[in-house]
Amino acid sequence: MVKGKHSYFFKEVVLILNRIFTLMVILGVPLTIIGSLMHWSSIVMFIICSLTVIAISSFMGRATESLAIISGPRIGGLLNATFGNAVELIISIFALKAGLIGVVLASLTGSVLGNLLLVCGLSFFLGGIKFKRQKFSIYDARHNSGLLVFAVIVAFVIPEIFSMSMNETKTLQLSIGISVIMIILYLAGLFFKLVTHRGVYMQEENVETEHEEPEWSKRKAVTILLLATLAVAYVSENLVHTFESVGEQFGWSELFIGVIIVAIVGNAAEHSSALLMAMKNKMDVAVEIAIGSTLQIAMFVAPVLVIVSLFMPTAMPLVFTVPELVAMTTAVLLTISVSNDGESNWFEGLILIAAYIIMGIGFYLL
């Protein structure tokens, strides 16, 4: 009974959010076009584009979700894994094209920090205020902790440290090598999760998933996904071009824009669904979204951007700044040690949020 009441309340919230996002898209896309033609001020364009990207990405999320349900768990998992961070990828490609390599690396950092600290933290905190102790699968938490250490600590730290005594060519060679290995490992991980070990570790969830019904038909979902991707691409390009002058006017560094602003805009859609899940006490799903998204960024988006950058004017090596790397590494250690017991409460959420704020202040002052 109580569960039914909860579900009803959350359905209402989701419906209202969807209406708001629809309105934002209907207003935002034309405004972006007009503003771009009429050369509105950077700050106005920055605000319009940011909000519009967030709104469109919620449509992409819903379309992917519908397609995933229609295509069954295997293809569905693949779709989620590919389109889950499409917005982030599109913004980053335009930033690469504009030569803003620092912003791209910073936004990767920001996505990792945002997912691990802010999304997990808010999920634990908001969920923990409603429920005294929330549990999630210890197995998943530990499986993911191995991947997080690999993706962030090994694959990001090694090029950083080794490149200190390398020339640029060798640094790029190392980055490409690591990127290829990571993409292979990412695909192998999908193969592991969707084929050889599907359902081996998570019986309960599968049962629940069967009942779900797609929001949109296959045709409608594909159409929306295509249109949304085009729209996001157009708006993102406009957004990227505002970074420089917005940074100057607010006194924000390239690093701060990437780590905080781009990361929040690029991941807002997933963030909200993780929070909704946490407040429904579906902690397994909330943690899976936050950590799964981090792994996707680190093991798929980052290496793909390295490869893509080879066809751009300036190639991007996988070399973060030291503060970025230290922030990501400590975020991984903190998340692992906080989530290692398969339980969460509001105080653990607060710890993660506090870590995010500390890092945010740090990047602001840098």
Residue 170 binds its own copies, judged by CB under 8 A: yes
Q: Let me know how many helices (H) and strands (E) the chain has, helices first.
A: 16, 2
| Residue 36 vs 330, nearer CB to its own copies | 330
Stretch that binds its own copies, among 43-51, 102-110, 281-289, 352-360 (CB under 8 A): 352-360
- Name the nearest CA neighbour of 135 among 283, 328, 292: 283
Q: How many residues of this chain interact with its own copies, rule: CB under 8 A?
A: 67
Min separation Cβ 271 and its own copies, Å: 21
Residue 120 in contact with its own copies, rule: CB under 8 A: no
**Residue 345, φ and ψ in degrees, nearest 5:** -150, 175
Would you mind telling me the total number of residues written for the chain in this entry? 366
What is the per-residue binding string for its own copies in 312-351, x denoting contact by CB under 8 A? ----------xx--xx--xx-xx-xxx-xx---xxxx-xx
Task: Give least dist CB 297 to its own copies, A.
Answer: 17
- 108 Cβ contact list (under 8 Å, min separation 6): 92, 297, 298, 301, 302, 305, 320
Compare residues 14 and 187 and give the one whose CB is closer to its own copies: 187
Measured CA to CA, the distance from residue 113 to residue 97 in angstroms comes to 24
Query: For its own copies, what does the binding mask look like between residues 277 and 316, x meaning CB under 8 A?
Result: ----------------------------------------
Note whether 142 binds its own copies by CB under 8 A. yes
DSSP string for residues in 144-155: HHHHHIIIIIIH
Is residue 25 within 8 Å of 52, Cβ to Cβ?
yes
Shortest distance in whole angstroms from residue 137 CB to its own copies: 11
**How many angstroms separate the CA atoms of 62 and 15, rounded?**
12
Assess contact for 269 and 58: CB atoms under 8 A. yes
**Identified binder of its own copies from the candidate list 185, 232, 277, 315, rule CB under 8 A:** 185
| In the complex, minimum distance from the CB of residue 218 to its own copies, in angstroms, rounded to a whole number | 31
Which one of 31-39, 98-106, 184-192, 235-243 is the stretch in contact with its own copies (CB under 8 A)?
184-192
- Coil vs helix vs strand at 165: coil
Q: 117: helix, coil or strand?
A: helix
Among 3, 39, 133, 219, binds its own copies (CB under 8 A): 133
Q: Is there a contact between 293 and 270 (Cβ–Cβ < 8 Å)?
A: yes
String marking each residue 72-111 x if it binds its own copies according to CB under 8 A: ----------------------------------------
What are the strands, taking DSSP E only, across the chain? 134-135, 343-344
Token reading at 166: 């390398």
| Token pair listed for 259 | 């780590």
> Which of 271, 246, 303, 273 has its CA nearest to residue 92?
303
Q: Give the one residue of 161, 226, 230, 310 binding its own copies; rule: CB under 8 A.
A: 161
Sites of contact with its own copies (CB under 8 A): 132-133, 138-139, 142-143, 145-150, 153-155, 157-159, 161-162, 164-166, 170, 173-174, 177-178, 181-182, 184-185, 188-189, 192, 196-197, 200, 322-323, 326-327, 330-331, 333-334, 336-338, 340-341, 345-348, 350-351, 354-355, 357-359, 361-363, 365-366
